[in-house]
Amino acid sequence: MEGTYSRMEIGIVSTGDELLRGAIADTNAAWMAARVFERGLMVRRVATVGDDLADLTRAFEGAIASFDLAIVTGGLGPTDDDLTSQAAAAAIGVRLARSDEAAIQVRAAFERIGRPMLDLNLKQADLPEGAQVLENPAGTAPGFALRTLRGRIVFLPGVPHEMRAMFERHVMPLLPETVRHRAVFKCFGMGESNIQDALRPVAKARPALRFGYRASFPEIGVSVTAKDAAALEEARVAVRAALGRAVFAQDDIDLPTALVRALAARGLTFGAAESCTGGLVGHCITEVPGASACFRGSVVAYDNAVKTGILGVAAAFIESRGAVSEEVARAMAEGARRALGADVGIGITGIAGPDGGSAEKPVGLVHMAVADSRGAAHRSHVWKGFDRARVKRAAAWTAMSMALGRISEDR
């Protein structure tokens, strides 16, 4: 076990039939484990159980006996298969009772979202006696915490954005303060094993540092934790040198956010011409609050007539070189600048698959270009063995990375 500074024993219980049916992967547990690890601790065990009262009760009993802090997600909703509160009461040996405080929070949550509350929804306020109510700022089901012999067991909703908000607010303060200093390097364009290889000498020379890796395709986050600030600053320089241009931010932000910030800082506007990415660039850019300061729009030119019509790509290029070609990508980037009135434009055209490939132009081939007042740059890549969704994502990220590189003087 690496990176464990404290002796606090932490366990996770993930609940829900959807996990045991394989309908979704347990990303909640991975997210929480990463947050715990970033704090210099490591989760000891994750147990996943279904919506079955006996299984839930046994899992909670086991977690209460084994861990100083047990974190449970899921099963707090109003429906019949939401059994977490009932099982928690059984595991701790108390009754389930309506909590006035929780009922007030449920009512307030429904008022906030402007939806009528059904009587059924008040089931979410039936908690084990003695429970501490944990407010849910992002949803209608409050969480709760119970004292145990070894410490605490905390119950959070399973909806990821609700769980995350509540974890930050209610669970992070329970973790011991380890004196720590932490830097995050967000990377794109290098695989996780290449990153680890590149950092091996850095880590070897500095055994007191803890390195953590978190992949969120196609980005990789490297976190470096040190016990004192000077060691971290010294390491920061070494990590930056080892990873070079793969680092797009020294901050826990994604590439679209880094691009929006760089554009805004320079007072530049941005537009996209997207074929195979289908709107993904525009979608990701507009997930960033404040994107309207720099984002003009995107032309999703899935059909060739849209490429020639709105973007002004010469039909002769499409005929002679094909829609998936360097010439068309460059013309699309220029077309995005012109049609959208943007300072910086990108163009993306490719074959996301599963069909449409040929020997000469295989599935996974994408041409990407970026254009500004100084001209245009181009890159192409074949993402072999990637499915449609991953080709789109890899292409969108490459094009945004090219745009970020072009406007960042120091890159």
Binders of its own copies among 281-300, rule CB under 8 A? 281-283, 285-287, 289-292, 295-300
**152-156 and 181-188 beta bridge pairing:** unpaired
Closest to its own copies by CB, 143 vs 353, is 353
Quick one: CA torsion of 17, 22, 27, 29, rounded to 10 degrees?
Answer: 50
Selected from 277, 325, 349, 398, the binder of its own copies by CB under 8 A is 277
| Residues 129-148 contacting its own copies, CB under 8 A | 138
Instruction: Tell me if 276 contacts its own copies by CB under 8 A.
Output: yes
Is residue 52 involved in binding its own copies (CB under 8 A)? yes
405 binds its own copies (CB under 8 A): no
Q: Where are the alpha helices (DSSP H) in 137-285?
A: 160-166, 192-204, 229-243, 255-266, 280-285
Residue ranges in 63-92 that form contacts with its own copies under rule CB under 8 A:
77-81
Tokens encoding 114: 């402007």
What angle do the packed helices 388-407 and 255-266 form, to 10 degrees?
30
Among 114, 173, 207, 267, the residue binding its own copies under the rule CB under 8 A is 114
| Per rule CB under 8 A, count of chain residues that contact its own copies | 112
CB of 63 to its own copies, least distance (A): 12
| Binding residue for its own copies, selected from 65, 172, 265, 389, defined by CB under 8 A | 389
Q: How far apart are the C-alpha atoms of 194 and 200, rounded to whole Å?
A: 10
Distance CA 24, CA 18 (A): 6
Minimum separation from the CB atom of position 292 to its own copies (A): 6
Min. distance of Cβ 75 from its own copies in angstroms?
12
Q: How far is the CB of 193 from its own copies (least distance, A)?
A: 5
CB of 157 to its own copies, least distance (A): 11
Extended strands (E) in 29-121? 45-49, 69-73, 96-98
Binds its own copies by CB under 8 A, chosen from 5, 6, 18, 164: 18
55 interacts with its own copies by CB under 8 A: yes
Residues between 335 and 374 that touch its own copies (CB under 8 A)? 339-341, 352-356
Closer Cβ to its own copies, 191 or 375, answer by number = 191
| Binding status of residue 5 toward its own copies by CB under 8 A | no
Distance CA 354, CA 335 (A): 28
CB of 46 to its own copies, least distance (A): 4
Phi, psi for residue 127 in degrees, rounded to 5: -125, 160
Q: Which is nearer to its own copies, 80 or 410 (CB)?
A: 80
Q: Which helix (H) or strand (E) is 208 found in, with range?
A: none
CA dist list (Å): 338 to 155, 255, 265, 403: 53, 24, 22, 16
Comparison of 27 and 320: residue with beta carbon closer to its own copies: 27
Helix (H) or strand (E) holding 89: helix 84-92
DSSP state of 82: -
Structure tokens at 224: 């470096």
Q: Does 264 bind its own copies (CB under 8 A)?
A: no
Q: If binding is defined by CB under 8 A, does position 34 make contact with its own copies? A: yes
Is the omega angle on the peptide bond into residue 157 within 30 degrees of 0, that is, cis? no
Q: How far, rounded to the nearest angstrom, does the alpha carbon of residue 403 sit from its chain's CA centroid?
A: 21
Q: How far is the CB of 99 from its own copies (least distance, A)?
A: 19
Q: How far is the CB of 130 from its own copies (least distance, A)?
A: 27
Spell out the residues 6+ positions from residue 172 whose beta carbon is closer than 8 angstroms to its own: 35, 39
- Out of 208, 250, 302, 375, point to the residue binding its own copies (CB under 8 A): 302
- What does the alpha-carbon distance between residue 185 and residue 251 come to, in Å, rounded to a whole number? 6
Q: Does 309 bind its own copies (CB under 8 A)?
A: yes
Query: Nearer to its own copies by C-beta: 246 or 285?
Result: 285
**357, burial (CB in 10 Å: exposed 0-12, middle 13-18, buried 19+):** middle
- In the complex, what is the shortest distance from the CB of residue 52 to its own copies, in angstroms, rounded to a whole number? 5
CA angle 49, 51, 55 (to 5 degrees): 50
Residues 177-236 that bind its own copies (CB under 8 A): 191-194, 196-197, 212-217
